[in-house]
A = this chain, B = another copy of it.
Amino acid sequence: MKTETTIQGLSASLSPARSARKIIGFVPTMGNLHEGHLNLVREARKLCDVVVVSIFVNPIQFGPNEDFENYPRTLEQDSRLLADVGCDIVFAPSVEQMYGNKPRFTNISVSDITNDLCGLQRPGHFDGVAVVVTKLFNIVQPNFAFFGQKDYQQLAVIRQFVRDLNIPLEVIGVPITRAEDGLALSSRNGYLTEEQRKIAPSIFQSLKAAEQELHNGVSLVEVLENIKHTLTQAGFIVDYVEARTPELQKIEAFNQNVILFVAAKLGTTRLIDNLQVKQTV
């Protein structure tokens, strides 16, 4: 496995693969890797000849009160994990390498599907994601790019701008990887105290309970209220509990497949999760 820290170095490393028309798979990450990320790499490994993983904590997707400075940076450990799952090239650029020292004037914004859920709580976040992911796509020029369904709204935003801008690659969404107790894996889980970590699986439990309720005919509104109640009782501060279509449009009743979305804080740590509940015919 090679590690490249410059765009030029990465291009040189990828050049033989490109000339040979090999299938390039790309997994963009912010590092601090867990099994969720490694499953993305395993998926890429299955479909592609060459697997590139980027590790870049992107400053422009963090809000002023978010955790950019303290976001965990664990490149050595990440590299060992990536080598084990068959990553070919790690791309770990500096902020200067990605953004240069001239001012950036270009922004990419995706409207409509960013207006609520995490978009509401994190203004500018998805613009920052769209810009950095577009840059990385242009640098790596992969055939396939892999993203986790845990950040479902992010995945939808990426699918949207890839389609709207005719970016020549296929986006693959990979199901959420969970701990044995159901907690969706996330780098931010590392911020939880031992006590909070014990409470955290309530999110997934409440989503699974909601799935059952929906199948039992409980109304969507009531089901969402129940999740909120459960999580508040468990000690969360709930940001939102929402239902959407798979295309992120609002939905009033369980009359088609629905995605249930939760964002909730334990102390200062904000956790998100989602579950698709399928209409049984």
List A residues at the B interface (Cβ < 8 Å). 7, 19, 21, 100, 102-113, 130-131, 134-135, 138-139, 141, 160-161, 163-168
A112–B103 touching, CB < 8 Å? yes
Copies assembled = 2
A21 contacts across to B, CB distance below 8 A: 19
Do A109 and B110 have beta carbons less than 8 Å apart?
Answer: no
Select the residue from A7, A100, A104 with max chain B CB neighbours within 10 A.
A104
The answer for the CA separation of A164 and B7 in the assembled complex, in Å, is 13
- Chain B neighbourhood of A161, CB < 8 A: 105-106
Which B residues touch A166, using CB under 8 A? 7, 135, 138-139
A139 to B168, CA, bound (A): 7
Asked, given contacts A165-B131, A165-B135, A166-B7, whether A160 binds B109 with beta carbons under 8 Å apart, the answer is no
Question: Complex: how many Å from CA A233 to CA B155?
Answer: 58
Q: Are B106 and A109 in contact (CB under 8 A)?
A: yes
> Which residues of B are found within 8 Å of A105, using beta-carbon distances?
110-113, 160-161, 164
17 further interface pairs, Cβ-Cβ under 8 Å (given A103-B112, A105-B110) = A7-B166, A19-B21, A100-B163, A104-B164, A105-B113, A105-B161, A106-B110, A106-B161, A106-B165, A107-B108, A108-B108, A108-B165, A135-B165, A135-B166, A138-B168, A139-B168, A141-B168
Query: A109–B102 Cα gap in the complex (Å)?
Result: 17
Q: How far is the CA of A165 from the CA of B105 in the complex (A)?
A: 10
Report the bound CA distance from A163 to B7 in whole Å. 13
Chain B residue with the shortest CB-CB distance to A247: B102
- Decide: A108 and B111 in contact? CB cutoff 8 A: no
Inter-chain CA distance A138–B100, complex, in Å, is: 23
Q: How far, in Å, is A141 (CB) from chain B's closest CB?
A: 6
Distance to closest chain B CB from A167 (angstroms): 5
For A104, give the chain B residue with the smallest CB separation: B164
Interchain CA distance A47-B105 in the complex, whole Å: 29
